[in-house]
Amino acid sequence: MKKDLLKLLDLSKEDIVSILNTADQLKYETKHNIHKDYLKGKTLAMIFEKNSTRTRVSFETGMYQLGGHALFLSGKESQIGRGEPIEDTARVLDRYCDGIMIRTFAQEEVERLAQYTQIPVINGLTDFCHPCQVLADLLTIREHRAALEGLKMCYIGDGNNMANSLIVGGLKMGMEVSVACPEGYDPDQQVLDFAKGSPEHKFSLFRTPKEAAAGADVMITDVWASMGQEEEKAVRVKAFQGYQINEELMALTNSGCMVQHCLPAHRGEEITAGVFEAHAEEIFDEAENRLHAQKAVMYLLMKEEEQ
């Protein structure tokens, strides 16, 4: 792997497989009470300009389980929140810590942070992408279905950071990817260019969920209004009417079709309560796998080479 995990576009298929395989091993060790301090003495700085429950708990717990230590830095309470340039923060943390995880708005901020550090930078979420979540999704799908290649993944809803990373991750792993978004809410053009840039990629963008869901092996959705879009909620509720994973849509999928949701879920909006509860085990396996996937990323980026 490269020094950082900034976006899945930067990774090869082999990189993703390495992360998933490492996550499998670390998960096995955790489940069997095998404790190894792979990151003993290491410190991870966690910068949160966007709040989160799962991201903070999973990274903090993951560092503890790997024998290291995590520091929580609120964007509002740090010097970043008072106007310090990101490159100055980067160079200071580079001298204190062994890695940085940042959850923020602009992808450019993550890229600049990595540019000015020698230590690894991990993207915990930006408005452009959510690589750690999608690594957890791929890990969960592979656990339930044994393999990824050849499966059809369908995403219904906003062409947001989740859609962007799902498209990239799914296609890199040899999956067919179909997406249904209302007009005006498409995935990022950079991602669409990637999706259409290889004859090996099986990708479709639809305006109707029924077209996208036909023959799917995995159905995925996300909230209609993400963090920071609260003022748009009324407009978005109107735009996304019908873009819901419900029982009617699930009837069009392949037998045994999985459902994934990055959470939090708004039952009755992007997914019905019935579908959510019918697939709750898969969804909360996915939530748990954030821990294992992120531990794998930290292990691969932060562990010193054996002498």
- Domain 132-287 classified CATH 3.40.50.1370? yes
Q: CA 40 to CA 98: how far, in whole Å?
A: 11
Strands (E), 89-201: 99-103, 121-125, 152-156, 176-180
- Enumerate the domain spans of the chain: 8-130+289-302, 132-287
Note the pLDDT tens digit of each residue in 146-205: 999 999 999 999 999 999 999 999 999 999 999 999 999 999 999 999 999 999 999 999
User: How confident is the model at residue 307, as a pLDDT?
Assistant: 35
Distance (Å, whole) CA 164 – CA 186:
9
Active site members: 103, 130, 133, 222, 262, 290
Q: What is the pLDDT of residue 2?
A: 87
Residue 260, beta-bridge partner list: 220
Domain 8-130+289-302 classified CATH 3.40.50.1370? yes
132-287 shares the fold of 8-130+289-302: yes
Of all helices (H) and strands (E), which one includes residue 261?
A: strand 258-261
pLDDT band at 287 (very low <50, low <70, confident <90, very high): very high
What's the token pair of residue 252?
A: 């069009």
